[in-house]
Structure formats: structure tokens, C-alpha cells
Amino acid sequence: MTGIAFVDSNVLIYAHDRSAGAKRDRAVAICGHLWSERTGCLSVQVLQEFFVTVTRKLRTPVARAQAREVVRACSPWVLNPTTPQTVLRATKIGEAARIGFWDAPILAAAEQCGAETLYSEDLNDGQSIAGVRVVNPFK
């Protein structure tokens, strides 16, 4: 793993889901490596999706205070604000790549922070979109 890598919400969620088994182990390893190398980035959208999912949708939800602490701890990984220009760029990426609207802002934010890699299970592994290579770390 070299260069800046963008972490999608599913990776952050698995890292905190005690029932995720091997996916949790892999997500923890990725996040730990990116943290120690200072090469991770994400967006406010990822933090929002993380908070809602881990506090409401997991078999064993994470306590809200603990989820807030994760959001606080990960906030330095938000390298750029989400702006109207980010949204407009996302609409163009979504149309060009024919991907869903909620995936497009993830790619726009990854592009905006200069990420070489996007760790996500939501897009096609190996696909390159907006100059960012998608890697499904759970494959």
C-alpha cells in the first residue's frame, strides 16, 4: 500500500463490527496501516454513513459515545471539505462512470484528496474511475 488511500464507509464499519469476522480483521489491518503511515483519507459522507450504520444497523450496535469518538479520531482524515463543487464533480463522475449517485461523491472526494486508491466493496475491484483505482479489500 503506497500513496494516499481513500477509505469507504464499509471498510470503517467492518473495522468496528465485532461480528464481521475476517472482514473485520482485514479492515482493522488496512485502517491501522493507513493510520501509521498517515496516508488515509475519507469524507464527511463516510463519517455520516459510519455513524448511522454502527449505531443503528449492526447486530450489536456500537454505543453512540464510542461511535462519536471514532468520528472525532478519524476527522483528521477529512482532507478537504465537501462543497457544491464536489457535488457537481460527483454528478459528472457518476454520469461518465455510470455509477450510483451515492458512490459518485465518494469518488469525487477521493479524487479531491489526491487518492490513488479507494478501498471499497461497493464498486468493481480493479476499476479506475476519475484516476482512482478501486480495490475491494475483502475479495
3-state helix, strand, coil in the chain (%, to 5): 55, 10, 35
Compute CA distances 139 → 15, 76, 128, whole Å. 16, 28, 17
Higher pLDDT, 1 or 129: 129
For residue 108, give its domain range.
Answer: 5-135
The whole-model pTM stands at: 0.95
Instruction: Tell me the CATH number at 110.
Output: 3.40.50.1010
Q: How many domains does the chain have?
A: 1
pLDDT tens per residue, range 100-119: 999 999 999 999 999 999 99
Average pLDDT, the chain: 97
The per-residue DSSP string of 68-84 comes to HHHHHHHGGGB-S---H
pLDDT tens per residue, range 36-60: 999 999 999 999 999 999 999 999 9
